[in-house]
Amino acid sequence: MPQASLVTRSRTQLPQELSRAQSAINLPEVQEMLQKLSAFNLGIFMPHRHEDETGAFEVLPQGIIQLEDGLRVSFVEEHTIADPESYVPVGWVWNNNGAVSSAMCVMRCFKRDGDTMHYSRHESE
């Protein structure tokens, strides 16, 4: 199985947990898990967020979820999502008793017709 080639500027700038994740992708057992996941069109990602002022990497805290809405990413407390049914989970982490969402994207209607673009969230009827 081919090994992942990971290039980073400086892993020393990452928190220890994220630096460990970066190194782990090269481990044979992680490569094997990734190969098995690929049969289900799944991959591996490193849950993280960025500090507001400096942009530094931070570990994604438990209970915080990454939301993509309108092509923008934000981080919110999961229990504050007003309409969770309008989001599609796209990332999961293991949390004590099982898999929980850590990243979600809003479901939107998107059409492009020439130069015009329709991109909106329709109210349910």
Q: Is the four-CA dihedral 53, 11, 6, 21 of positive or negative sign?
A: negative
- CA distance linking residue 118 with residue 125, whole number of Å: 19
**pLDDT-above-90 percentage for the chain:** 48
At which of 15, 42, 59 does a domain end? 59
Residue 77: predicted pLDDT: 93
Range of the domain at 37: 1-59
The token duo for 49 is 């967020």
Asked whether residue 83 carries a pLDDT value surpassing 70, the answer given is yes
Instruction: Looking at the structure, tell me whether residues 122 and 76 fall in a common domain.
Output: yes
For tokens 């970066």, what's the residue? 22
Between 28 and 72, name the one with better pLDDT.
28
Residue 112: predicted pLDDT: 58
Asked whether residue 118 carries a pLDDT value surpassing 60, the answer given is no
